[in-house]
Amino acid sequence: MAVTCFIRYQIDPFQRDAFKRYAEAWGRIIPRCGGNLLGYFLPHEGSNDVAWGLVGFDDLAAYERYRTVLKRDAEGRSNFELAQSQRFILREERTWLEDVSGTRNVARQVAP
């Protein structure tokens, strides 16, 4: 069963650029460590202190393998340390979701 980790971040809105750099680093780290990065998202309108990250895995065993590799990844450790030292993430919540078959990564179809 494919699963997605939905991460909700409460961020310091005055450190938006720091969070953006943090998220961009995960764009390199997560795929290298075995995760399927679906994306990171910054607030655009409305709340200015909530951001999201979505990471997919083929199953929970794939997630456990990813965690093992991530713990050994120097850039991953450095990115975690950056967030802790700069304190641009105020709160983080993780929710695990079961993917609905046939709905993940479906590209838009343009009519002829």
pLDDT in tens, 63-82: 999 999 999 999 999 999 99
pLDDT beyond 90 at 112? no
Residues paired with 56 in a beta bridge: 4, 36
pTM of the full structure: 0.87
Domain borders along the chain are 3-98
CATH code for the part of the protein at 3-98: 3.30.70.100
| Dihedrals phi, psi of 30, to nearest 5 degrees | -60, -50
